[in-house]
Amino acid sequence: MTFPLTTSVNRDLAGAAPTTDDEIRSAGPLAARAVGVTKVYGTGDARVSALGGVTLGIPGGRFTAIMGPSGSGKSTLMHCLAGLDTVTDGKVFVGDVELTRLDDRRLTRLRRDRIGFVFQSFNLIPTLTALENITLPMDIAGVRPDPAWLDTVIDTVGLRPRLRHRPSELSGGQQQRVACARALASKPEIIFADEPTGNLDSRSGAEVLSFLRNSVREMGQTVVMVTHDPVAASYADLVVFLADGRIVDQLADPTAEGVLERMKGLDR
Ligand SMILES: Nc1ncnc2c1ncn2[C@@H]1O[C@H](COP(=O)(O)OP(=O)(O)OP(=O)(O)O)[C@@H](O)[C@H]1O
């Protein structure tokens, strides 16, 4: 299956006109999209252009990986898509809501209610148990967890015997599974994962990636993951490649070897 997120591979590299919003929207239901997004940090001599006009659709109910060389803009793109950072120019939508028009209060509420996050460093509260960490965002929002769904999530991540344990009593892989369960528990429209396996050994990393993939296949979740690792990217349905702040390639149904091959091309 192909996902026509960008209308042609290496289009930007080839210097052709950028992909339009109409083109990405015609590809099917999108959970989020960026339209002509630029991001500039600093001014004068310290000016860095991190994103140079990115137009991208994130397909709903799919697992999308964002890859690219160090400094290519992966984290910046994810932060802009998730409303964690402002854009310099362009528009970002989650569903039909334009994030780039929301004031801080509405943006905070949208992130809380509609987006889940998984970070490389787990970001668990050390004094809370695994279960308390999982339900914390809902507790803060004053939302009662759906007990049946919570049970499903806990069983899917295999954490039932560890629910009363604090993070320091859990392995790195178990801690990241708590973080994944926390992201999934409120049924967000989209989960953003920033290098979720960066601090894990390969076995724990594989467990977390399998879980993210299963949440897409079995629960219909939408997941976007930034990664350096071709093996991690191979768990996704689609890999989008960034270089110098632009989308330069994409690969559907990736294998680790296929991703590595394309990365070699970008590194050159
Ligand atoms: N807060 C910031 N202030 C100034 N420049 C920044 C800031 N954040 C990122 N940059 C710059 O923007 C560019 C893109 O950074 P970004 O972190 O998005 O890349 P990345 O692909 O995620 O890199 P890595 O794989 O190394 O994490 C880099 O040149 C980086 O130095």
This complex has an ipTM of: 0.97
Give the residue, by CA position, lying nearest to ligand 1 atom 16: 73
Q: Does residue 32 fall inside a structural domain?
A: no
Question: Which domain CATH number covers 211?
Answer: 3.40.50.300
Give the residue, by CA position, lying nearest to ligand 1 atom 30: 71
Q: Does residue 19 fall inside a structural domain?
A: no
**Which residue from 220, 258, 218 is spatially nearest to 238, judged by alpha carbons?**
258
Question: Rounded to two decimals, what is the model's pTM?
Answer: 0.88
Q: Is the pLDDT of residue 28 over 80?
A: no
Task: Give the structural domain span for 255.
Answer: 61-71+103-267
Distance 210 CA to ligand 1 centre (A): 28
Q: Does residue 184 fall inside a structural domain?
A: yes
- What is the number of other CB atoms lying within 10 angstroms of the CB of residue 245? 24
Q: Does residue 15 fall inside a structural domain?
A: no
Q: Does residue 95 fall inside a structural domain?
A: no
Q: Does residue 28 fall inside a structural domain?
A: no
Q: Does residue 168 fall inside a structural domain?
A: yes
Q: Residue 86: CB within 6 Å of ligand 1?
A: no
What ligand 1 atom has the least distance to the C-alpha of 76? Answer: 18
Output phi, psi for 115, to 5 deg: -130, 140
**217-221: long-range contacts (C-beta < 8 A, 24 or more apart)?**
218/156, 219/152, 219/156, 219/184, 220/61, 221/61, 221/184, 221/191
Give the torsion through C-alpha atoms of 50, 54, 57, 63, to 10 deg: -30
Give the up-direction half-sphere exposure of residue 138: CA atoms within 13 A in the CB hemisphere.
19
C-alpha distances in angstroms, 20 versus 74, 94, 242, 264? 20, 17, 17, 28
Output phi, psi for 225, to 5 deg: -130, 130
Q: Residue 54: CB within 6 Å of ligand 1?
A: no
Q: Which residues neighbour 105 within 8 Å (Cβ) at sequence distance 6 or greater? A: none
Give the rounded percent of residues in the chain with a pLDDT score beyond 90. 70
Mean pLDDT along residues 48-58: 95
**pLDDT 10s digits, 165-199:** 999 999 998 999 999 999 989 889 999 999 999 88
Q: Does residue 153 fall inside a structural domain?
A: yes
Q: Is the pLDDT of residue 78 over 50?
A: yes
The structural domain count of the chain equals 1
Give the pLDDT band (50/70/90) at residue 71.
Answer: very high
Beta bridge partners of residue 124, listed in sequence order: none
